[in-house]
Amino acid sequence: MSSRRGATTLRGVLPVDKPAGMTSHDVVDQVRRATGEGRVGHAGTLDPLATGLLVVLIGSYTRLEPYLSGARKTYEARIAFGTSTDTDDAEGEVVDAAAVPDAVLDPHAAQTALDALLGDSMQAPPAYSAIKVGGRISHRAARAGETLELAPRAITVDAAELLRIDADARTWDVRFRVSKGTYVRALARDLGLACETFAHLGALRRTAAGLLTLDEASDLDDIVAASAEGHIAALFTDVVAALGLPVVEASLAEVANGRSLDTGRFSDLPEGALASVLADGAFHGVYTIVGGALVPVSIVGGTA
């Protein structure tokens, strides 16, 4: 145990299967309490409505958030047609309603509408979001009855696959693969308008984040139990595999005191490329190529 308050020797990447009704911050707090480690964060927020893969970072591995949060995310979403809500999901109040055209319940027409989302576009974020404008948080302003002007953001939809149509419930189940910063709630909203009705997000489950999948995730109850029994580290995933970066091996002596590494072992990496550096076989940190040298940008090895 470290002598620093709120710090332990724990460090790792912990995939969590987030339950509905909890914020991502709630999950972080529960892991923090279970482990006694104050340095706990996550890579990619999930709304309270959403379930599924939340990548939690523990100890010095919180420094890896920039390299994990930017990964592509895969979701299974339920889109409910006929009504829109103020939050663009099922947690909000209904603000508009309209008849659902028959074409919405036709699989070919539905997939055609989904195909129109593919590629790069500019997305208008939901009013109920954590985006800040002039220091003010959008969802707080919206709850106070104010509307902030949110700038559209560049997003990419790599895949939008229709899984199922429920004609009675007037819903689609869709698998999306999207870039960082994409609001699936907003995709649901925009699909409703494109189909000449209204729609909102009925349910959402994240099944993958970059190279990590939901199959690797643990339930919170299992995490709390494992922590109490002293073997929570068994639930951590392989950080090198999670990052998916080229691997460079070195000795502890070579990386001591933040030293750069020579070019001999990574001549095939271009300027600006990132790499995972192992020191004596253990993950040490993320480095980048600068001027022909491998320079540390995020060190997590050594003292936690």
- CA separation, residue 136 to residues 23, 118, 149, 206, 294 (Å): 20, 32, 11, 28, 40
- In the residue annotation, 47 being an active-site residue is answered as yes
Confidence of residue 144 (pLDDT cuts 50, 70, 90): low
Over residues 2-50, the pLDDT tens digits come to 334 467 889 999 999 999 999 999 999 999 999 999 999 999 889 899 9
Least reliable range by pLDDT among 20-34, 154-168, 181-195, 249-263 = 249-263
Task: Parse the chain into domains and list their residue ranges.
Answer: 12-71+211-241, 73-209, 245-299
Over residues 101-141, the pLDDT tens digits come to 999 999 999 999 999 999 999 998 877 666 665 666 665 65
Query: What is the β-pairing status of strands 247-250 and 274-279?
Result: parallel
Flag whether pLDDT at 198 surpasses 60: yes
The average confidence (pLDDT) of the chain is 90
Residues in CB range of 230: below 8 A, 6 or more apart:
none
CATH superfamily, domain 245-299, is PUA domain (2.30.130.10)
Rounded to two decimals, the pTM is 0.90
Residues in CB range of 76: below 8 A, 6 or more apart:
163, 173, 174, 175, 204, 205, 207
Over residues 50-97, the pLDDT tens digits come to 999 999 999 999 999 999 999 999 999 999 999 999 899 999 899 999
Instruction: Give me the count of residues in the chain.
Output: 304
Give the residue-averaged pLDDT of 211-240.
Answer: 96
Over residues 273-290, the pLDDT tens digits come to 999 999 999 999 999 999
Contact between 201 and 154 (Cβ < 8 Å):
no
Distance, CA of 171 to chain centre = 25
Catalytic site residue from 17, 47, 89, 190: 47
Question: What is the fold, at CATH topology level, of the domain defined by 73-209?
Answer: Pseudouridine synthase (3.30.2350)
12-71+211-241 and 73-209: identical CATH topology = yes
Question: What is the fold, at CATH topology level, of the domain defined by 12-71+211-241?
Answer: Pseudouridine synthase (3.30.2350)
